[in-house]
Amino acid sequence: MEHKPVRAIFPGSFDPITNGHLDVIGRGNKLFDELIIAVGRSPVKEELFTQAERVAMISRLVSDMPRVSVESYDCLTVEFAAQKEADVMLRGLRNLTDVQYEFQLAMTNRSVAGIETVFVMTSEEYGFVSSTMVRQVALLGGDVSKLIPLPVYKLLRERLKEMGGN
């Protein structure tokens, strides 16, 4: 029986990408033959970085990872997955709250689009980190340098200065 390469997408807004995201990407890179990091826009979140900025940022961070690519999309995630002929959707889990939300999303995606979801647990040190939390702490002047990659931290500080913040 011939092995069919498995293509996965890892969707998110990644605004900004965190060390937790990179942890999930590293795990996904080991699990799948191809991993597409799918950078979307959230209609309910105010963006700190443009979609193009996030794609460029992430592309630099994963440039040494074989079989990982980064693309943006502006449609339903399941539509993007179908366009890319993805076999599975990769999702990271941090805590029980994530489990409830992600379970519902995975069931909906399977029912509506027939795509399976594969979950990986983030490492313990990233179990509390989210892009939303990073944005909020940074906007209030807190130190998020240990939560996001150094190049992203530098870009975040520049963006905050442009916005008149700390």
What pLDDT score does 99 carry? 87
d(CA 98, CA 129): 12
Does domain 7-128 fall into CATH 1.20.120.640? no
CA distance 102 to 155: 30
Q: Tell me the average confidence (pLDDT) per consecutive run of 10 residues in the chain, 166 residues long.
A: 90 96 96 97 86 97 96 95 96 84 90 92 89 93 96 95 79
Q: What pTM does this model have?
A: 0.92
DSSP state of 85: T
Which residue in the list 45, 67, 154, 161 is annotated as catalytic? 45
Q: Is 135 part of the annotated catalytic residue set?
A: no
Q: Which of 54, 91, 94, 135 is catalytic?
A: 94
Q: Is 94 a catalytic residue?
A: yes
Q: Which of 57, 56, 10 is nearest to 29 (CA)?
A: 10
Question: Residue 135 contacts by C-beta under 8 Å, 6 or more apart in sequence?
Answer: 15, 16, 48
Give the pLDDT score at 100. Answer: 85
Q: What is the DSSP letter of 109?
A: H
- Is 110 in the active site? no
**Choosing from 13, 21, 54, 135, which is the catalytic residue?**
21
* From 13, 27, 131, 135, active-site residue: 131
Please give the DSSP secondary-structure letter assigned to residue 124. G
Residue-range domain boundaries for the chain: 7-128
